[in-house]
Amino acid sequence: MLIKTVFSGFGGQGVLMMGYILAVSAMRDGMHVTYLPAYGAEVRGGTANCTVSISDEDIASPVASSPDYVIAMNKPSLIRYEGQIKPKGTLFLNSDLVDIDPKREDIMVFKIPANTIAKKLGSERVINMIMLGALSTRTKITSIDSLINGLTEVIKTKSAKQMGINERGLEMGAKYVLKGA
């Protein structure tokens, strides 16, 4: 089994952090993992994306020319990556920032109002965790508990309050897709 996921959005949306937390979580689950980040020169406000490959065997290449899953945090990300998703793959959209519908009919699409959910939680900084929770829950790529453990390992220096809101973001994303996005 080899699963490739692309995370894409504006710099500052936590795109690279999402991918890194997934990679760490999958490694903690005993999987083989590659993490390949990329970002524009301006970073915050520029484009950022990363690819995470997860397998139960060695991974030959970290590049995801046909990802199984894509998280598109904004409209430019949808435009760039929709055509690359494998047939029968899955697209997760931040519907608060993507005002067009995907054109493909051979993929599953989940529209998650991540900005709206984050505002209800009191911090727009957890948009990425909301999307990651949705991905994990719908795909079973890893569990929410594994993501929380990975999150704890990655952001050790954050306050208990900040950790708590990130955990709630993961859980809210999971709940949203379970009720039918």
Task: Give pLDDT tens digits for 45-64.
Answer: 667 899 999 999 998 877 76
The amino acid occupying position 49 is: N
* φ, ψ of residue 62 in degrees (nearest 5): -80, -10
pTM over the 0.75 mark:
yes
**Strand bridging mode 69-72 / 108-112:** unpaired
* Domains contained in the chain, CATH given: 2-178 (3.40.920.10)
Residue 81 and residue 8 in contact, taking contact as beta carbons nearer than 8 Å: yes
Percent of the chain with pLDDT over 90: 73
Dihedral angle, C-alpha 71, 76, 79, 84, nearest 10 °? -50
**How buried is residue 65: exposed, middle or buried, by Cβ count under 10 Å (0-12/13-18/19+)?**
exposed
